[in-house]
Amino acid sequence: MVTCVNAVYSDSLDFDKIKDSLNTLLNNKKIALELRIQGINDLSYQIINRRPDLALEYVSKAVSLNSGEEQIKTQLSNSYTILGIIYKNKGYRELSVTNYLKALNYAEETGDSLRVSVCLNNIGVLYFMSGKEREAIDYYRKSVNIERQYSNQGQLSVRYYNLAESFQKIGEYDSAFHYYVASLELEELLNNNEGEMYGHYGLATLFYDWGKLRKSESHLKSAELLMDSVQNIELECKMLIAKGDLTKINGMLEESTKNYEEAMKIAKEYEYLDLEITALEKLKDVYVETKDRENESAILNILYARQKEKSNDEIGNKIRSLEKLYGLEVKQREIEGLKAKQEIQQLSIDHSRRLKNFLFLAMIMVIGIFAFNIYRLNKMRKNE
């Protein structure tokens, strides 16, 4: 599946300068808030693959700057999209879809149809990763309907690829083939090497599942020919796993092992936890087949550790989310308590005022009655 949009993989980034710029944007209140959040988004997106934790830190801080102004909603949509991508890459699907839904909400509020399309696609990706292919297809199709209105060929290709992958997963190979070819043809028309690489890779995996190994090998080789002109670490990792599958089914277990090990190494370096786990599981299967108990045991230990790490991180993030919600609830209760206290104080003041007014009126009445009685008494004495 392809998330919109793909990130920067450059080795030449100066992270110290980027961090200084991020701090400036975060703290310099002389810069318009919209520009501050936009700058943080842009810089964070550049480092999303090399330094995902740094990107996560600053985009989270950018979101916290939300002042409720209408003009920053587009940038907040971008912020939540970036957070969704980071959590997706880390394998935290629940957190990812939560952020994608927030991005979608802001996109809908601003009436930005193309951004809505991006959000729909990204949510579809999460459903696909969660094994809910039918739901993913529904989201992709909604996104396709928007992109067709704008004749956006590049984004249509992405949606077609994702639809193909979903149909492949549920075994509807004819539909998958149709969408993979449609995606590849658009990318060739656009002369987009990365898109062509995805198209050939997708067809390679499809023909592998279909049992058409020669066609699978042919498309994988076509994808490999484009690799030097494209910098996409995630796709490179996936292609190594696909190559490992092909060499394994052809009995080339040593070559297969090398491909899986390289994929595992890259996935670990760039924190693609799901891909690392996939590569580890593939390696384990090779060692089981070759009866290599020592390596099988070693890989199982790493695999269990990674699975536990993923589980613990997901639990930890859920706990932090709950703590945040609890903190908000506590604060709300404090506010409500203060309001109640103020209302009680106001009632006490009002009661005191009413009592004083009553006593004052009563005193006036007593004085009036007393004065009236004296007046009557004096008048009677004069008459006598």
User: Domain extents for the chain?
Assistant: 1-139, 151-229
Could you tell me the fold of the domain covering 1-139? 1.25.40
Count of other CB atoms within 10 angstroms of residue 379: 9
User: What's this model's pTM, rounded to 2 decimal places?
Assistant: 0.70
| pLDDT one digit per residue (tens) for the chain, 384 residues | 665 544 444 455 788 999 999 999 999 999 999 999 999 999 999 999 889 999 999 999 999 998 788 889 999 999 999 999 999 888 888 889 899 999 999 999 999 999 999 999 999 998 998 899 999 999 999 999 999 999 889 999 999 999 999 999 999 999 999 999 999 999 999 999 999 999 999 999 999 999 999 999 999 999 999 998 888 899 999 999 999 999 999 999 999 999 999 999 999 998 888 899 999 999 999 999 999 999 999 999 999 999 888 777 665 555 454 444 444 444 444 545 555 555 556 655 565 666 566 666 666 676 666 666 665 656 555 555
Q: What CATH superfamily classification does 151-229 receive?
A: Tetratricopeptide repeat domain (1.25.40.10)
Question: Which pLDDT does position 312 carry in this prediction?
Answer: 72
Q: Which helix (H) or strand (E) holds 291?
A: none
3-state secondary structure of 274: helix
Express each pLDDT in 107-164 by its tens digit.
Answer: 999 999 999 999 999 999 989 988 999 999 999 999 999 999 998 899 999 999 999 9
Looking at residue 370, what is its pLDDT?
60
Q: Give dist(CA 126, CA 174) in Å, integer.
A: 23
CA distance 171 to 49: 32
Rama region for 251: left / alpha / beta (φ>0; ψ in -120 to 50; rest)? left
pLDDT tens profile 345-378 = 665 556 566 656 666 666 667 666 666 666 565 6
Same fold flag, 1-139 and 151-229: yes
Q: Please list the alpha-helical segments (H only) found in 130-232.
A: 133-149, 153-169, 173-190, 193-210, 213-225
Our CA dihedral for 201, 204, 210, 213, rounded to 10 degrees, sits at -160
Instruction: Find all residues with CB under 8 Å of 162, minimum gap 6, and list them.
Output: 1, 2, 121, 124, 125, 128, 136, 140
What DSSP letter does each residue of 26-92 carry, written as one string?
HH-TTS-HHHHHHHHHHHHHHTTTT-HHHHHHHHHHHHHT----GGGHHHHHHHHHHHHHHHHHHT-
